[in-house]
Amino acid sequence: MSMTSGFRSQCIPTYRVLTEDQIKEIHSATLEVLEKIGVRILDDTGLQLLKDAGCRVKNENIIQIPNGLVEESIHSAPSCIKIYNRKGNEVMQLGGNNVYFGLGTDLIYTYDLKTGELRPSRLQDVVNAARTGDYLEEIDFVASFALAHDVQTNLMYVECFKASLENSIKPIFFTAAGQEDLSVILEMAATVAGDYDRLREKPFLIHYAEPTSPLSHSKSAVRKLFLCADKGVPINYTPALLAGATGPVTLAGAITVANAEALSGIVLHQLRAKGAPIISGFVATTMDMLTSTAVYAGPELRLTHSACTDLYHYYGLPMWGTAGASDAHCFDQQAAMEAAFSILMGILEGANLIHDVGYLGQGLIGSPATIVMGSEIIGYVKRIRRGFDISRERIGMEVIQQVGPGGNFLLTEQTRRLHRQEHWRPKFMNRDNPDMWKEKGNKTYGERVTQKAIEILESHRPEPLPDPIRGKLDEIIKKARESLAEIKFVV
């Protein structure tokens, strides 16, 4: 195979589920839903904006969006979004097949590292998640992970954001109750960046808000969407639909409806601020028909997730995703199995912003040890994804000849030079021989990873915020304690 034949020597495994024809079929069904059935907009400003753009009101708040407007919005939204860390260094380019992993938000329980007890989450759990995420190189962004029950209710999200900010330099994926606390959070972020212009220029945070399935945009969601659009802060506006409950039971129907919710979000966002950064996509999972719970790690979710990735690659829009999460209530074999399957598929399909690493209990339970395990699975799968080079140089005929039959390759210069590149090495997985394993205390993978998670929390000290900024943040929080105290967040 000569150099001139166009032979590409790097093989990279990828995976997709939809053909181009199938993508177009789903896309056109989505457009049909938006144009003929419409979406419900519960916010007046949003409703007016759509009316002004030529959408038809079907009855009071159901609005039908013409195809052209949807296509225009897909076109005007940026196809690549650069995300920075707290110090202003570019760390993520959300777009194409780039895959980044991070934590999720709002877990009400924590699977305690030391006691194995399932208990309500506290602010310290947010701190712990940020530190764990900050330490692990495979984790690209952090999030609150836990929802702090031990702080003033209206300040939950503000306090969580501050804890993330103080305990990691990585980008922060965050939620808020409403536009009021979101404003406070953005003020904190602008303070860290310098001002709102610098925050817009080098955003180190992504807000996560969502439409409500089926086909509804709440007041609160639209207001958060608009606030981010106005400030040029990247927003992740993505529905989570339950097939058979809040969406059609068929995967094709669920995908179509969820996609209509996501695309109508893009329309609203781009009408408000053309070219503003938005990360889209959707999760369409199943409701378990025996327990009525929302499944976080079922095979159907992986299929719809892959379909979503194919669709948004086709649109040329950055898409969100989920992986490394489990339906198990403790850090066990099920947790490992579901984390591994989902991370494998997430990486091979090339979803951009994959959150939820370390989630247990169907989005209710956080576990730092599960984050550590997830990080190792990510490293493992990224090695698969990297593929291998089959150039003449890498085949290395001279070396094969030089060693010859019966020789050994261990001492070749090639082995020494390339073993680290060619061979990935786990950090926590067992590769010892049986006696060595016994000597080290017969530990299971779960025990080793839990020990590592404890060590990280005991020893890792993230780079602190500069003192003057800490002072300013304290001022903002102090004011917010009063301003947010009596607020009743709209739904």
Partner 1 sequence: MPLFEDLIENVIQGDEATVKELIHQALKNNVPAKEILHDGLIKAMNIVGEKFKKCEFYVPDVLWAAQAMKAGIEMIRPFFQKSEVAPLAKVIIGTVEGDIHEIGKNLVAMMVEANGFDVIDLGVDVPPEKFVGSVKAHGAKICMMSALLTTTMPTMKKIIEALKQAGLEGKVKTMVGGAPVTKQFAIEIGADGYSPDAPGAVDLAKKWMAG
Chain residues 263-302 in contact with partner 1, contact rule CB under 8 A: none
Nearest approach, Cβ of 443 to partner 1 (angstroms)? 16
CA distance 188 to 191: 5
Q: Which listed range, 119-127, 204-212, 221-229, 407-415, lies at the site for partner 1 (CB under 8 A)?
A: 407-415
399 near partner 1 (CB under 8 A): no
Nearer to partner 1, 404 or 434 (CB): 434
Number of Cβ atoms within 10 Å of the Cβ of 371: 30
Nearest approach, Cβ of 436 to partner 1 (angstroms)? 5
Nearest approach, Cβ of 400 to partner 1 (angstroms)? 16
419 near partner 1 (CB under 8 A): yes
32 near partner 1 (CB under 8 A): no
CA distance 325 to 367: 10
Nearest approach, Cβ of 449 to partner 1 (angstroms)? 16
Q: Which listed range, 191-199, 218-226, 318-326, 419-427, lies at the site for partner 1 (CB under 8 A)?
A: 419-427
119 near partner 1 (CB under 8 A): no
Nearest approach, Cβ of 412 to partner 1 (angstroms)? 9
420 near partner 1 (CB under 8 A): yes
Nearer to partner 1, 137 or 435 (CB): 435
Unique residue bearing structure tokens 């094969």: 400
401 near partner 1 (CB under 8 A): no
Of 51, 56, 87, 416, the one binding partner 1 by CB under 8 A: 416
CA distance 2 to 99: 32
Nearest approach, Cβ of 425 to partner 1 (angstroms)? 8
Nearest approach, Cβ of 420 to partner 1 (angstroms)? 7
Nearer to partner 1, 435 or 467 (CB): 435
415 near partner 1 (CB under 8 A): yes
CA distance 87 to 170: 9
Nearest approach, Cβ of 383 to partner 1 (angstroms)? 16
Q: Which listed range, 78-86, 285-293, 361-369, 426-434, lies at the site for partner 1 (CB under 8 A)?
A: 426-434
| Residue 189 and residue 205 in contact, taking contact as beta carbons nearer than 8 Å | yes
Nearest approach, Cβ of 407 to partner 1 (angstroms)? 10
425 near partner 1 (CB under 8 A): yes
Nearest approach, Cβ of 75 to partner 1 (angstroms)? 50
| Residue 476 and residue 186 in contact, taking contact as beta carbons nearer than 8 Å | no
Q: Which listed range, 75-83, 145-153, 406-414, 441-449, lies at the site for partner 1 (CB under 8 A)?
A: 406-414
Nearer to partner 1, 80 or 403 (CB): 403
Nearer to partner 1, 405 or 468 (CB): 405
491 near partner 1 (CB under 8 A): no
Nearest approach, Cβ of 324 to partner 1 (angstroms)? 24
CA distance 298 to 356: 14
137 near partner 1 (CB under 8 A): no
| Three-class secondary structure assignment of the chain | CCHHHCCCCEECCCCCCCCHHHHHHHHHHHHHHHHHHCEEECCHHHHHHHHHCCCEEEECCEEECCHHHHHHHHHHCCCCEEEECCCCCEEEEECCCCCEEECCCCECEEECCCCCCEEECCHHHHHHHHHHHHHCCCCCEEECCECCCCCCHHHHHHHHHHHHHHHCCCCEEECCCCHHHHHHHHHHHHHHHCCHHHHHHCCCEEEEECCECCCEECHHHHHHHHHHHHHCCCEEECCEEEECCCECCCHHHHHHHHHHHHHHHHHHHHHHCCCCCEEECCEEEEECCCCCCECCCCHHHHHHHHHHHHHHHHHCCCEEEECCCCCCCCCCHHHHHHHHHHHHHHHHHCCCEEECCCEECCCCEECHHHHHHHHHHHHHHHHHHHCEECCHHHHCHHHHHHHCCCCCCCCCHHHHHHHHHHCCCCCCCCCCCHHHHHHCCCCCHHHHHHHHHHHHHHHCCCCCCCHHHHHHHHHHHHHHHHHCCCCCCCC
Unique residue bearing structure tokens 């950055």: 318
Nearer to partner 1, 7 or 409 (CB): 409
Number of residues that bind partner 1 (CB under 8 A): 14
410 near partner 1 (CB under 8 A): yes
Nearest approach, Cβ of 429 to partner 1 (angstroms)? 13
Binding mask 430-449 toward partner 1 (x if CB under 8 A, else -) reads --xxxxx--x----------
Of 249, 399, 411, 487, the one binding partner 1 by CB under 8 A: 411
Nearer to partner 1, 1 or 411 (CB): 411
455 near partner 1 (CB under 8 A): no
Q: Which residues bind partner 1 (CB under 8 A)?
A: 408, 410-411, 415-416, 419-420, 425, 432-436, 439
